[in-house]
C-alpha cells in the first residue's frame, strides 16, 4: 500500500495506448479502473485497466500481441471476464480485465471508481480501511475478503445512484 501517485493516470494512459495499437479494432472501450484511478486514494501500485470487446472469444487471436506488451493470460476463476497480468522484474505492474461490451455499462469496478471520484469522503473511508488492514498485518490472501463489506456498501450506493439493483461484489472487488 502506497500513497496516491499522480503519475498513475499517465501510466494507465500509456498502457491503454499501447494496447489499442497492438490490437487495433479489438477494444470498443478501455479505461483505467481500481484505486489507482481515484485521485488521492492510497493503493497497491498496480494499474488496473478494463476493456470491453464485442465477445470474449474475440480476444484469442490478439493474445500474441498482448503478450508482446507483457500482458499474459491469468486464470483466477472468474468466468465473466478475461484477465491479463503484466509484471516487471517479477512484480505485477498492470492488470487488464477484458469484459463484454454488453456488460460494460454496469461493471461494478467502473461504477465504484466513479462513485469514489465523486465522493471524496467515501474514498477516505475506503483508504482508512485499506491502511488499517495493512497496519494490522492482514495477509495478502485475506486482504480482499477483509474489504468486501465496505466495497459492497459503496458499490451498492454507486449502483443505486444509477437506478441499478445491488449486485454482489464477491471477494474480487477493486483493489
What is residue 173's predicted lDDT score, i.e. its pLDDT?
Answer: 41
Distance, in Å, from the CA atom of 166 to the CA atom of 102, rounded to the nearest integer, reads 18
The pTM (predicted TM-score) of the whole model is 0.92
Give per-10-residue mean pLDDT for the chain (175 aa).
96 98 97 97 95 97 97 90 94 97 96 97 95 92 92 97 92 43
pLDDT of the residue at 61? 97
Amino acid at each position: 500500500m502506497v500513497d496516491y501517485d499522480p503519475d498513475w493516470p499517465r501510466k494507465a494512459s500509456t498502457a491503454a495506448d499501447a494496447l489499442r495499437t497492438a490490437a487495433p479494432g479489438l477494444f470498443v472501450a478501455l479505461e483505467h479502473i481500481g484505486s489507482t484511478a481515484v485521485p488521492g486514494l492510497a493503493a497497491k501500485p498496480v494499474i488496473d485497466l478494463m476493456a470491453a470487446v464485442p465477445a470474449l472469444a474475440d480476444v484469442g487471436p490478439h493474445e500474441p500481441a498482448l503478450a508482446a506488451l507483457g500482458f499474459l493470460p491469468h486464470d483466477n476463476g472468474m468466468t465473466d471476464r478475461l484477465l491479463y497480468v503484466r509484471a516487471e522484474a517479477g512484480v505485477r505492474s498492470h492488470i487488464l480485465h477484458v469484459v463484454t461490451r454488453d456488460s460494460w455499462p454496469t461493471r461494478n469496478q467502473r461504477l465504484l471508481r466513479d462513485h469514489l471520484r465523486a465522493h471524496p469522503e467515501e474514498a477516505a473511508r475506503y483508504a482508512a480501511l485499506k491502511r488499517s488492514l495493512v497496519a494490522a498485518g492482514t495477509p495478502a490472501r485475506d486482504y480482499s475478503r477483509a474489504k468486501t463489506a465496505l466495497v459492497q456498501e459503496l458499490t451498492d450506493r454507486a449502483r443505486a445512484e444509477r437506478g441499478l439493483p445491488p449486485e454482489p461484489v464477491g471477494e474480487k472487488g477493486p483493489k
